[in-house]
Amino acid sequence: MLNNILEVRDLKKEFTLSKDRKIQAVKGISFDVRRGEVFGFLGPNGAGKSTTISMLTTQKEATSGDILIDGESLVKNPASARRKIGVVAQHNNLDRGLTARENLIYHARYFGIDNKTANKRADEYLERFGLTERQHDYVRSYSGGMAQRLKIARAIMHNPDILFLDEPTTGLDPSYRNILWEQMLELNKAGTTIFLTTHYMEEPEQLCDRIAIVDQGELKAIGTSDQLKALIPSNNIVSIKLSNLKDEFIKEAKSLQDLEKAVIQNDLLLLYMKNEHPDFNKILEWVKTLNTSLENISLSTSTLDDVFIHLTGKGSIINE
Ligand SMILES: Nc1ncnc2c1ncn2[C@@H]1O[C@H](COP(=O)(O)OP(=O)(O)OP(=O)(O)O)[C@@H](O)[C@H]1O
Ligand SMILES: [Mg+2]
């Protein structure tokens, strides 16, 4: 068996935006996904994540480049690739005029799964995703979160080797988000490779074996969460908790010497200093000028969020 289930070589996609405007949505990216891993594809809005997934799943044709699924060219043999991949698209592409159960069964039958197996799997997945009671209702009557769960159930009906999920947890409430992750990890344990995009940083950090960070159609970094965190110096980030945090503090922080940038993350003000071991006294003096009380100040260790901000420049008001 090949070590890599997916190989991507110099993949490009150009779109026409208007009569005289084109965009390189994907600018020649190359990477491998190993068999059996959970692989995260992270990037800000418009980075080219969905475009990449569309090409990897035969839904969009690449402008140039190669895609190998299980060692076989997807461009030359799309039908064979389709049997090996499952896709959960970002938009709702269910058949809304069919019931949930029919969506699952027709999908399995399309892939040549026999009727008995298809029905058995449908029972199992409807139960797993909490849809058994609503299985005979038209999909058009489904809520967004229910449709999302059904899309995932449908994608695994033909038992794919690699499952692509484009923002799978968006629109799911926290309990189904957890259920979905449990399901994905269970599928992964049973041998399915998982490729997903997400906006929620804490998800890939905890659950992905490796993560690629993309921005403006380019691959910025790839590796384990620890490897990515090692890309940025960690002891130059000062994390400050204030009783009253205001956006304007980001601008005011510009007056600090040695400040690279300031960012608000959750309920913390993070100061990225140019030098390691920053001068706490100076920072404390600056905090006093803000007319709010200091609850906590510490040197912070870097998170995937910091790596993302560092590599993409997104999330920092100063940089925008
Ligand atoms: N069919 C299309 N025609 C023209 N431009 C497109 C098309 N699809 C995507 N684009 C452009 O390609 C770029 C990448 O879009 P894409 O949807 O891949 O981003 P994304 O990373 O999935 O973003 P999001 O996080 O918002 O889902 C954007 O600039 C977008 O406007
Ligand atoms: Mg997208």
Please report the pLDDT score of residue 279 as a whole number. Answer: 86
pLDDT digit string (tens) for 30-68? 999 999 999 999 998 899 999 999 999 999 999 999 999
Q: Which helix (H) or strand (E) holds 260?
A: strand 259-265
Please report the pLDDT score of residue 106 as a whole number. Answer: 97
Distance of CA 143 to the CA centre of its chain: 22
Percentage of the chain beyond pLDDT 70 is: 97
Using pLDDT thresholds of 50, 70 and 90, give the confidence band for residue 317.
Answer: very low
Residues contacting residue 284 through CB under 8 Å, at least 6 positions apart: 294, 297
Identify whether the C-beta of residue 105 lies closer than 8 Å to the C-beta of residue 113. Answer: no
Closest alpha carbon to 270 in 309, 243, 221: 309
pLDDT digit string (tens) for 82-136? 999 999 998 899 999 999 999 999 999 999 999 999 999 999 999 999 999 999 9
Q: Are strands 259-265 and 268-273 parallel, antiparallel or unpaired?
A: antiparallel
CA atoms within 13 A on the CB side of 140: 4
Closest ligand 1 atom number to CA of residue 60: 1
- Kindly give the distance from the C-alpha atom of residue 44 to the centroid of ligand 1, in angstroms, as a whole number: 11
- Kindly give the distance from the C-alpha atom of residue 167 to the centroid of ligand 2, in angstroms, as a whole number: 7
Average pLDDT of the chain to the nearest whole number: 90
Sequence-ordered alpha helix ranges (H) in 141-245:
144-155, 174-189, 202-207, 225-229
Largest CA distance in the chain: 72
Q: Which helix (H) or strand (E) holds 28?
A: strand 21-34
- Kindly give the distance from the C-alpha atom of residue 248 to the centroid of ligand 2, in angstroms, as a whole number: 31
- Kindly give the distance from the C-alpha atom of residue 48 to the centroid of ligand 2, in angstroms, as a whole number: 7
pLDDT digit string (tens) for 290-305? 989 999 998 877 788 8
Q: Whose CA is nearest to atom 17 of ligand 1?
A: 50
Please report the pLDDT score of residue 229 as a whole number. Answer: 87
Distance CA 47, CA 197 (A): 11
- Kindly give the distance from the C-alpha atom of residue 36 to the centroid of ligand 2, in angstroms, as a whole number: 24
Please report the pLDDT score of residue 181 as a whole number. Answer: 87
Helix, strand, coil abundance in the chain, percent, nearest 5: 35, 30, 35
- Helix (H/G/I), strand (E/B), else coil: 137: coil
* Ligand 1 pocket residue status of 13, Cβ below 6 Å: no
The CA–CA distances, whole Å, from 170 to 43, 197, 275, 284 equal 15, 10, 37, 39
Residues contacting residue 76 through CB under 8 Å, at least 6 positions apart: none
Please report the pLDDT score of residue 307 as a whole number. Answer: 85
- Helix (H/G/I), strand (E/B), else coil: 129: coil
Distance CA 193, CA 5 (A): 8
- Write the single-letter amino acid at 256: L
Among 50, 59, 90, which is best to mutate for testing ligand 1, by the most ligand atoms less than 8 A from CB?
50
Identify whether the C-beta of residue 3 lies closer than 8 Å to the C-beta of residue 68. Answer: no
pLDDT digit string (tens) for 194-235? 999 987 777 778 889 999 999 999 999 999 998 998 887 666
Identify whether the C-beta of residue 213 lies closer than 8 Å to the C-beta of residue 231. Answer: no
Q: Whose CA is nearest to atom 9 of ligand 1?
A: 51
Please report the pLDDT score of residue 278 as a whole number. Answer: 83
* Ligand 1 pocket residue status of 51, Cβ below 6 Å: yes
* Ligand 1 pocket residue status of 46, Cβ below 6 Å: yes
Please report the pLDDT score of residue 320 as a whole number. Answer: 31
Distance CA 83, CA 111 (A): 7
Q: Is the confidence at residue 183, as pLDDT, over 90?
A: no
- Helix (H/G/I), strand (E/B), else coil: 172: coil
Q: Is the confidence at residue 246, as pLDDT, over 50?
A: yes
Among 15, 213, 219, which is best to mutate for testing ligand 1, by the most ligand atoms less than 8 A from CB?
15
Closest alpha carbon to 271 in 302, 305, 240: 240
Which structure tokens are listed for 290? 């803000």
Using pLDDT thresholds of 50, 70 and 90, give the confidence band for residue 266.
Answer: confident
Using pLDDT thresholds of 50, 70 and 90, give the confidence band for residue 314.
Answer: low
